[in-house]
Structure 1
Amino acid sequence: MTRIVAITGAAGALGSKTAATLSEAGWQVVGIDLAAIGSGGLALALGGVDLTDESAMAGAADRISEQFGRLDGLVNIAGGFRWETVTDGAVATWDRMHAMNVKTALVSSRALLPMLRAARGAIVNIGAAGAVKAGMGMGAYAASKAGVARLTEALAEELKDDGIRVNAVLPSIIDTDINRADMPDAEFDRWVTPEQLANVIAFLLSDKASAVTGALVPVTGRM
């Protein structure tokens, strides 16, 4: 039976690579994003979805249920980053990072849990290495990603007897065009590529990781 996976943030660099990797592995992929999504390679593209809005995500869940009748996996990639010091930055940045990184994962997981529970599926969240040790200018971002880590652990405990596994990956800097433009003097070959991260996500969704839940997996390349 073909397995169905939903990916939030599917329009981005990591989201699109993860969609391609999972599609190649035989999954049917549902892409969900606030931005428009190209339908190429996706079984269902749901653009224009506010992932912080419970009603919007309930509508996305209905679309998935109507078309496939099931959901076996969820990858919460949607999020954002802002470099800003605590002393000179804005308090509103902390709210924004929380909404983009924690609330999107929370709302998406809650909306899709009934289907995931029925299929005894798996959730993979995107945390960050900075959630363990924040660098300068990363306070708001790191705090929000620490929230993703705690959400992952709490959900894993809550859902383990339902057969749902919940894990997170903690990447360092991801090798994307945006990050290269922002840090042109960096050693790019030390970063994690979207493909490398997507491969770890695919493993955590797979039956090979059937004994793994509540894990926060560092994927840090040579950083």
Structure 2
Amino acid sequence: MAGRVLAITGAFGVLGQAVAKAAAAQGCRLALIDYAKDAPGGLPAGEDVFVQGGVDLTDAVAAGAAIDAAADRFGALDALLNIAGGFRWETVEGGSMESWHGLYRMNVLTASNASRSAIPHLKRSAAGRIVNVGSNAALKASVGMGAYAAAKAGVHSLTQALAEELKADGVTVNAVLPSIIDTPANRADMPKADFAAWVAPDDLAAVILFLASEEARAVTGALLPVTGRV
């Protein structure tokens, strides 16, 4: 992975930070992109890290500008890791249609816009990669997960469609499907749960980085469950 250029969306979140730190430890050059304006402390830094905050990836023009800026900074782009996304729990009956629109935009549209912008750059890489973050909940949605599961199912279909579209160009497209990720927010929402059964961000980051590596050349169109012991 040393020297490979990775663009990471949602890089300021818990999973994004874990992926960024693991990638930096492997010698990657990183473009860290997020909707939030201010980067959290502890992110990788230095000449091999390019931080872009305040980027609205639901805007195709803004997404294109961010991806192009990343490729211009490093002279190439080898992998796009679409980690940006969002979650909301509410029932269909008691919820709002705005949740459906919002979760679609946060999960599907961000990945679609970033991917479309990255494709020309990835085609020029010797090992272009796109890795999306889907959800195991989209395989069988439970109560309160209708809008979120539907949005993540869209990410799954986007992954498969792009894999078919780009396989002749040597660009692979895959998605990881986590169950509950062990984050402070999830612990606060479910304080009585068995946290040890959840997926640690570092473990999920390791799978994402494998799929972003040159060694994953034989894997494309995969929806890979990463569910811990849930």
> Whole-Å Cα distance in 2 between the matches of residues 156 and 109 of structure 1?
11
Matched, 1:126 2:127: no
Segments of structure 1 that go 5 or more residues without pairing to the other structure are none
- 2:112 maps to what in 1? 106
> Whole-Å Cα distance in 1 between the matches of residues 68 and 155 of structure 2?
25
Q: Alignment partner of 1:50: what SS?
A: coil
Q: How does 1:58-69 map to 2 (within 5 A)?
A: 58-69=64-75
- 2:223 maps to what in 1? 216
Matched, 1:145 2:152: yes
- Count matched residues: 223
Matched, 1:74 2:77: no
Q: Is the 8 A contact 2:18 2:205 kept in 1?
A: yes
Q: How does 1:1-223 map to 2 (within 5 A)?
A: 2-35=3-36, 36-38=38-40, 40-42=43-45, 43-119=49-125, 120-223=127-230
Identity among equivalent pairs (%): 55
Shift of the alpha carbon at 1:208?
A: 2.1
Shift of the alpha carbon at 1:93?
A: 0.6
Matched to 1:4, the amino acid is V
Q: TM-score, normalised by structure 1?
A: 0.97
Q: Alignment partner of 1:96: what SS?
A: helix
> Whole-Å Cα distance in 2 between the matches of residues 159 and 32 of structure 1?
23
- C-alpha distance after superposition, 1:32-63 (max 9, x if no partner): 00112258414100000001111111211231
- C-alpha distance after superposition, 1:108-162 (max 9, x if no partner): 0011111111114101000000110001000000000000000000000000000
> Whole-Å Cα distance in 1 between the matches of residues 19 and 27 of structure 2?
12
Q: Alignment partner of 1:85: what SS?
A: coil
Q: Alignment partner of 2:220: what SS?
A: coil
- C-alpha distance after superposition, 1:71-125 (max 9, x if no partner): 0001000000000001111111101110000000000001111111111410100
Matched to 1:180, the amino acid is R
> Whole-Å Cα distance in 2 between the matches of residues 221 and 194 of structure 1?
11
Q: Is the 8 A contact 1:38 1:45 kept in 2?
A: no
Q: Is the 8 A contact 2:132 2:159 kept in 1?
A: yes
